[in-house]
C-alpha cells in the first residue's frame, strides 16, 4: 500500500477536528487523533515532507478516517501499520488488538491472553499508553475488567476514548443509549450533533448541589465564557477549587463578591441562598428524592432562583433527562438555527417544539447549546 512511496505525512480535517498520519514504506507508523489545530497534529508527527500531489492511497486513507469519525465504522484492518519499532511483545499485542472490530471491546487481561501472554495485563496497559497509531491500533477498545472505561493517552483523554467508542456504537449506559437512539430516530440533524459533540455529559456532574446552584446564579443572563470567568473569581475567594461554602459565603463582604464581577442582585441572591441552606430552609440532600416539580418548588422559594436556575440544577446536577428550559435565550437561538427558523421562537412557541425530543429533552438541549457555543458546556 505504501511500498512505492517515500516516507511522508499528511494532516487533514475530520468532523472532530484535525487528524493526521505519517508513513514509511512498511505502512503507517504514526497516527494523530483529532485536535483543534493542524499545528498540534503536526507536532505529533515525524518531520517528513507531505508529497504533492497526494498519492491516491494517502487520500483514500484520509477519506476512510473521515467516514469513520462521521459514524460509519471502518475496521481498517487492511491498512498496513509499521510495527517495526515495537518489541516482539508489543507487536503481538498490536496485532491482537487490530482483530477487535468496531463495536466491540476487550479487556487488558483478555488482550494479553490473545497475544499469547496470559497474566500480562499490566504490561498490555503500558503498551497501550505509548501506542503510536491509535485508531488503526484501536487502543480505545480496551477497557478494564470491571467494565470501567479506563485511562486514555489521546489528547482528549478518557472523554475522547468514550467518544470514539460511541461513534462505533458502544455506549455503556443503557439509558443514554436509548436516548441517543431516540434522538436519532426523530431528528437526523440531532443525530449529527451527537456524533460531533460526543457522549452526553453535563459539565457540572460530580459537583455538590450547592456549587451547582451558585454557579447557575452566576450564569444567569451571561455568556458561558463570561460566566465561567466570574465563577472562577468567586471560587478563588476561598481555598480550594470549589465555591465558598454556605458559611464562608455568609462571611464574604459585598465588596469582595462585587469585585468578582457579580451584580448587586446576584450578590444578594447568593447570600440568600446561603441563608436558606444554613437555616435548614432548603435541604439540598433531599433534592435527589423529589420529582421535577417538587424540586422546582423547593428551589424557586429562594430569592434569585427562578425556574431557569432550578432547571439548570435539574439538568446539570440531578441528571434529569427530560427538562426543557424554554426561557433560555441561548437554547431558543439554537432551536432557531437547528430548525432553520427566521426568528428565535418565543417561550410559548418553544414548548411544543421540544415535544419531538421528549422524554430526552435535556439531552437535546445540551447538544443544541453545544451547537451555538461551538463547544461542550
Catalytic annotation, residues = 139
- The full DSSP string for 168-216 is TT--S-HHHHHHHHHHHHH-HHHHHHHHHH-S---TTTTS-HHHHHHHH
Q: Is 320 exposed, middle or buried (0-12, 13-18, 19+ CB in 10 A)?
A: middle
Residue 217: closest CA among 264, 257, 256, 270: 270
Supply φ then ψ for residue 142, to 5 degrees. -100, 125
Find the helix packing angle between 329-339 and 361-373, rounded to 10°. 80
Q: What letters, b where the CB count within 10 A reaches 16 and e where it falls short, cover 58-71?
A: beebbeebbebbeb
In this structure, are residues 193 and 200 in contact, taking their beta carbons and an 8 Å threshold? no
Q: Are 365 and 315 in contact (CB under 8 A)?
A: yes
Amino acid at each position: 500500500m505504501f511500498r512505492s512511496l517515500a516516507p511522508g505525512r499528511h494532516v487533514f480535517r475530520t468532523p472532530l477536528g484535525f487528524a493526521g498520519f505519517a508513513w514509511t514504506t512498511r505502512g503507517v507508523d504514526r497516527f494523530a487523533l483529532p485536535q483543534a489545530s493542524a499545528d498540534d497534529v503536526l507536532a505529533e508527527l515525524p518531520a517528513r515532507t507531505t508529497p504533492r500531489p497526494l498519492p491516491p492511497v494517502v487520500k483514500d486513507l484520509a477519506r476512510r478516517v473521515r467516514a469513520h469519525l462521521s459514524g460509519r465504522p471502518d475496521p481498517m484492518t487492511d491498512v498496513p501499520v509499521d510495527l517495526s519499532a515495537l518489541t516482539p511483545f508489543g507487536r503481538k499485542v498490536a496485532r491482537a488488538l487490530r482483530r477487535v472490530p468496531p463495536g466491540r471491546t476487550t479487556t487488558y487481561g483478555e488482550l494479553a491472553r490473545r497475544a499469547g501472554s496470559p497474566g500480562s495485563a499490566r504490561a498490555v496497559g503500558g503498551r497501550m499508553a505509548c501506542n503510536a497509531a491509535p485508531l488503526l491500533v484501536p487502543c480505545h477498545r480496551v477497557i478494564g475488567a470491571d467494565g470501567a472505561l479506563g485511562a486514555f493517552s489521546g489528547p482528549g483523554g478518557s472523554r475522547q476514548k468514550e467518544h470514539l467508542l460511541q461513534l462505533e456504537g458502544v455506549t455503556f449506559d443503557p439509558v443514554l443509549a436509548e436516548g441517543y437512539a431516540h434522538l436519532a430516530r426523530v431528528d437526523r440533524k440531532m443525530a449529527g450533533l451527537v456524533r460531533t459533540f460526543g457522549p452526553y455529559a453535563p459539565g457540572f456532574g460530580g459537583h455538590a448541589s450547592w456549587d451547582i446552584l451558585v454557579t447557575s446564579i452566576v450564569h444567569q443572563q451571561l455568556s458561558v465564557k463570561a460566566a465561567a470567568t466570574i465563577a472562577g473569581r468567586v471560587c478563588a475567594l476561598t481555598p480550594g477549587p470549589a465555591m465558598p461554602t454556605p458559611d464562608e459565603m455568609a462571611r464574604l463582604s459585598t465588596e469582595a463578591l462585587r469585585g468578582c464581577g457579580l451584580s448587586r442582585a446576584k450578590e444578594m441572591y447568593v447570600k440568600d441562598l446561603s441563608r436558606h441552606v444554613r437555616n435548614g430552609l432548603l435541604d439540598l440532600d433531599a433534592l435527589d428524592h423529589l420529582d421535577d416539580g417538587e424540586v422546582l418548588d423547593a428551589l424557586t422559594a429562594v430569592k434569585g432562583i427562578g425556574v431557569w436556575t432550578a432547571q439548570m440544577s435539574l439538568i446539570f446536577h440531578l441528571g434529569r433527562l427530560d427538562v426543557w428550559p424554554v426561557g433560555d435565550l441561548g437554547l431558543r437561538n439554537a432551536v432557531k438555527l437547528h430548525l432553520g427558523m427566521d426568528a428565535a421562537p418565543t417561550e410559548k412557541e418553544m414548548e411544543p417544539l421540544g415535544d419531538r425530543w421528549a422524554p430526552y429533552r435535556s439531552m437535546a438541549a445540551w447538544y443544541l447549546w453545544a451547537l451555538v457555543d461551538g463547544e461542550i458546556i
